Amino acid sequence: MNALCLSAKAGHADIVSALLAHPEVDPDRPTQCGGHVALVTAAFNGREDVVAAILDSSADPNATNDKGYSGLHWAASKGCLEVARRILSHPEVEVDARLGYSGETAMMLAADRGHVDLMRAMIAKEADLARYG
């Protein structure tokens, strides 16, 4: 991991913002160790304030780790409703993006784990329900 991902993991939104203000820090660049991306790390750890700081820095809302998980995939999988809502509020989010190795979408992950409110949030963002039937 790098300083950005470690700060995102720990929930230090102020440090994340300070790092992202530096022109050489790219929030979408995966780390060399583990393929971590700041947004995915923050979402995995349920850090809504950090997710907001990262997205406010013009990060890609669809950035994935080396396993193909986006922040929305992790939020849906883990039941982090506020994190998911923050990601879904981004105009460029791909609500129907699929995991590379399994083809699952965030909607499928939320459904599998019984996260009804997350499913409703994705439906409100016009998730393609035909994919799920």
**pLDDT (tens digit per residue) in 90-130:** 999 999 999 878 889 999 999 999 999 999 999 999 988 77
Q: What is the pTM of this model?
A: 0.92
CB burial of residue 25 (10 Å; 0-12, 13-18, 19+): middle
CATH classification code of 3-132: 1.25.40.20
> Which single residue is written with the structure tokens 């992950």?
109
pLDDT number for residue 78: 96
- Within 8 A by CB and 6+ apart from 26, the residues are none
Report the alpha-carbon distance of residue 68 to residue 35 in Å, rounded: 10
pLDDT at 33: 64
SS3 string, the chain, reads CCHHHHHHHHCCHHHHHHHHCCCCCCCCCCCCCCCCCHHHHHHHCCCHHHHHHHHHCCCCCCCECCCCCEHHHHHHHHCCHHHHHHHHCCCCCCCCCECCCCCCEHHHHHHHHCCHHHHHHHHHCCCCHHHHC
pLDDT in tens, 39-88: 999 999 999 999 999 999 989 999 998 889 999 999 999 999 999 999 99
Residues 76 and 106: beta-carbon distance below 8 Å = yes
